[in-house]
Amino acid sequence: MQKHRTISGKIQYTSRKEGRVGEERGRETFMWTHHSDGKKTLRAHCEIDEPDPTVMRDIVYSLDENDRPMDCMVRLTVGDEFMGAGLFIIGEDTVECESYGPSIGRISQTMPINGPFDGFGTHPIVADAYITRKIDVSLGAHNRKFRCFLPSPDHRGATPPIIAESNLYLGYVGEETVTVGAGTFHCRKFEFTDPDAGMVGVSGHAHPPYEMWVTADDDAIFVQGGVGGYMQTWYELVELER
């Protein structure tokens, strides 16, 4: 008998732009595997319909028993055309990448980590939620700089997979109970902000404020959230099985 534990679900993406409020603009399905040795693997499939060009992303991402990233595989289609695929390996002192795509050819990268970091940003919404475990909620409401590596500096992750670094701020706001399509959950509320323009991707904009509500337990499952500014998006958990 298998000894792992599985969590699966679906997140609906909708718009909050004028004239499109409430319209579906994408979706995400995910499955977490929690192994008995404490390690975890996330498999996520993301589809963004709006704005053009469309984005389709598949990732397989693993963390060790201390929630330190181990490796991440990314495959990306933009405008229904292959954009690139890459394998990232997060070692003790370096992040390595083997990647290829029509616009970059075949590349090999090694980047030194150079000090503490909080995680690896993979772009699926469910992974944004899980990384909030790095915030010490026992300190109460507070905000701190949050350093991550990621496979694309673009806000939609819609560029060929290469090693990038982001420095945003992540704040813990407090606890709330919220009801969404998948049920009612006791949550912790967080907010990503970018006052130093630490993640200006191909959009040319600093990342707008990004609020999210995450289950107040060790699974840290995304429940609801949204991004303001020029993006005007909303995300909601509509299915969950665990």
Burial of 173 (0-12, 13-18, 19+ CB in 10 A): middle
Average of per-residue pLDDT across 44-54:
94
* Integer Cα distance of 167 and 4 in angstroms: 34
Dist CA 176 CA 158 (whole Å):
33
Average pLDDT over residues 201-212: 76
- At residue 198, the pLDDT reads 60
CATH number of 5-241: 2.40.360
pLDDT in tens, 135-146: 999 999 999 999
* 81-95 pLDDT, tens digit each: 999 999 999 999 999
Q: Tokens for 49?
A: 């319909």
Specify the higher pLDDT residue, 203 or 75: 75
Helix (H) or strand (E) holding 125: helix 125-130
Residue 209 β-bridge partners: none
User: Under 8 Å CB-to-CB from 198, ≥6 apart: which residues?
Assistant: 166, 167, 168, 206, 207
What's this model's pTM, rounded to 2 decimal places? 0.93
